[in-house]
Amino acid sequence: MKRHIFRAILAVALAVEAASLVLIVWVLHDFFEERVTEELAQSAAYIARGIEIHGGAYLTGGLPEIKRITWIDSNGAVLFDNWEDSAGMGDHADRTEVRDALLLGRRTAVRRSDTLGQKTAYYALRLSDGTVLRLAEDQDSVWMMVLQALRPVFLMVALALCLALWLAGRVAQRLVAPINAIDPEDPGGETAYEELAPLVGKLRDQNRRIRRQMADLVRQREEFNTITEHMQEGLLVIDRDTRLLSCNKAALELLGAEETPLGESVLALDREAGFRRCVEEALAGRAWETLLDRDGVCRQVFASPAERDGAPSGAVLVILDVTERERREALRREFTANVSHELKTPLTTILGTAEILENGMVREADIPHFAGNIRREAQRLIDMVDDIIQLSRLDEGGFAGSWEAVDLYSQAARVLEQLAPAAERRQVTMTLEGGPAPVWGVPQIVEEIVYNLCDNAVAYNRQGGAVAVTVENGPEGAVLSVRDTGVGIPPEERERVFERFYRADKSHSGGGTGLGLSIVKHGAAYLGARVALESEPGKGSAFTVTFPLARS
């Protein structure tokens, strides 16, 4: 804009200067032409007097040859010419100035000379004898004078030009300054030019709108971030070229990345075949899911294509940590397999024994033995089904039974009494130490816990071993501890012994349902008690159950 204004001002200045120059030249030219004619007239008068006095000889008497002097007879014949040969010159009566001088006495004229072929100023004067004296001077000399006179003018013009340049620059600057002074961020209310007012107003409106929209955007982004950052699920958004557009903290954690490589390829986060396939399929417009099982963490990835105008423009990946789910699933499968196996074993024995009896292959005397087998296995089945029912009740939390104060010590004493025959068979000595310790809980569950722990301690003991049961009041509540001298549990199996049907001693399948410790664990959880296990393989194990403080 500044340049435009500058150019416009400069153009105007130049045009004015050019016009003035033309005018000056024209005026000067006219002025000098007039002077030349005047001079011619003076010279002519002077020479005319000479001729009047001295006759034609005056002309040949060494007059200066600066001007052309022609003497023409009244009939038009050239009597004398100081530049040309008068004999060769034609009739001059038809020349404007001569003709007019013959009629009027004197005449000036500016015209192209027929003889010299140049633009020439003439002055013709009729002498008293009727002849005409004509003086001529060509125009070149006029122009020479004009040029000479113009020299200072040119200097002036040059100076004016410089001044115009400087002024144009200054004026342009001054004109533009208020426009430049407008702050596009904050245009303010006033402006130096009223023509700019609508523009400034518009600018202000737009600024306000942009600020509002920006605030909205920031708020939306914050909302989005707050939502995604607090999601348990990993969320990744990628564009068509697999570049990462957005991702939350959970996604980075699930993929094991430390920094957010926004703008880089998502494959830099994970390049496993399954993940790659997911990304490729989603970008090809197909939803896909896969399971990534690595480093003990199991992740499920759902990839959905994101479409814009019908063409895939990216993809959204959701990542879930399904380690726990998969583990539970595996446990459930194992449990189902175990339960079928455990239920089937006694049934097979019952079926086999019954078949033998049916076929009459058994002597009368042996029948009680076989019937005893059937009864024992059936009893085992019933025990197992009871245990399973007990467990599922604990699982569902719908255990029927009222909460009341239970004395752990007397409970333990009763259990030891019940187990005395079994202990005697295995020659296991049982001792009970400590004193009364009240526990707030469901009596059946407390009994189940104590019974199962002591039963296991006896069943998995060595021949002639010992079981020491201690009941005491600890600072955190009543503590029951059952210590045996059995086979012990290797460290890697300590977690698993509480699983259903899990047996530390794989060869030991007789007796017990394999659900005892599971019932202990679930029962303790139901009552809010803690179960701890210490064990030394080959020497024995100690289970400690810490009940919560009894309510006063």
Partner 1 sequence: MRDRFDQQLERLHVELIRMGALCEEAISAAAEALLKDQRALAETAMEKERELDQAEREVENLCLKLLLRQQPVARDLRNISAALKMISDLERIGDQAADIAELTAHVRLPPDSCVSHIPDMARAVISMVTDSVDSFVKRDLDLARQVCAADDEVDALFDQVKAELIALIAADAAYGGQGLDLLMVAKYLERIGDHATNVAEWVEYALTGVHPSNN
Interacting residue ranges for partner 1, rule: CB under 8 A: 241-243, 264-265, 267-268, 271-273, 276
Q: How far is the CB of 184 from partner 1 (least distance, A)?
A: 27
Q: How far is the CB of 289 from partner 1 (least distance, A)?
A: 19
Quote the CA–CA distance of 143 and 130 in Å, as a whole number: 34
Q: How far is the CB of 166 from partner 1 (least distance, A)?
A: 43
Judged by CB, which is closer to partner 1: 99, or 243?
Answer: 243
Judged by CB, which is closer to partner 1: 272, or 293?
Answer: 272
What's at 97, amino acid-wise?
E
Strands (E), 252-409: 288-294, 297-308, 311-321, 404-407
What is the distance, to the nearest Å, from the Cα of residue 184 to the centroid of all Cα atoms in its chain? 26
Quote the CA–CA distance of 197 and 278 in Å, as a whole number: 57
The two three-digit tokens of residue 153, written as one number: 């003018």
Judged by CB, which is closer to partner 1: 268, or 330?
Answer: 268
Q: Which pairing describes strands 466-474 and 429-434: parallel, antiparallel, or unpaired?
A: parallel
CB atoms within 10 A of CB 187: 19
The answer to whether 168 touches 6, Cβ cutoff 8 Å, is: yes
The two three-digit tokens of residue 402, written as one number: 């009222």
Quote the CA–CA distance of 103 and 161 in Å, as a whole number: 53
The two three-digit tokens of residue 312, written as one number: 């895939």
Quote the CA–CA distance of 527 and 135 in Å, as a whole number: 147
Q: How far is the CB of 450 from partner 1 (least distance, A)?
A: 47
The answer to whether 6 touches 172, Cβ cutoff 8 Å, is: yes
CB atoms within 10 A of CB 131: 21
Q: What are phi and psi of 425, to 5 degrees?
A: -60, -40
Q: How far is the CB of 311 from partner 1 (least distance, A)?
A: 17
Judged by CB, which is closer to partner 1: 140, or 264?
Answer: 264
The answer to whether 188 touches 178, Cβ cutoff 8 Å, is: no
Judged by CB, which is closer to partner 1: 242, or 546?
Answer: 242
Q: How far is the CB of 447 from partner 1 (least distance, A)?
A: 49
Q: How far is the CB of 273 from partner 1 (least distance, A)?
A: 6
Containing 546, the helix (H) or strand (E) segment is: strand 540-546
Judged by CB, which is closer to partner 1: 204, or 276?
Answer: 276
Q: State the DSSP code for 267.
A: G
Judged by CB, which is closer to partner 1: 138, or 272?
Answer: 272
What's at 519, amino acid-wise?
I
Q: How far is the CB of 276 from partner 1 (least distance, A)?
A: 6
Q: How far is the CB of 270 from partner 1 (least distance, A)?
A: 9
Judged by CB, which is closer to partner 1: 238, or 450?
Answer: 238
Judged by CB, which is closer to partner 1: 15, or 268?
Answer: 268
Quote the CA–CA distance of 112 and 120 in Å, as a whole number: 6
How many residues would you count in the chain? 552
Judged by CB, which is closer to partner 1: 303, or 519?
Answer: 303
Q: How far is the CB of 241 from partner 1 (least distance, A)?
A: 6
Quote the CA–CA distance of 104 and 393 in Å, as a whole number: 153
The answer to whether 109 touches 97, Cβ cutoff 8 Å, is: yes
The two three-digit tokens of residue 75, written as one number: 């009939």
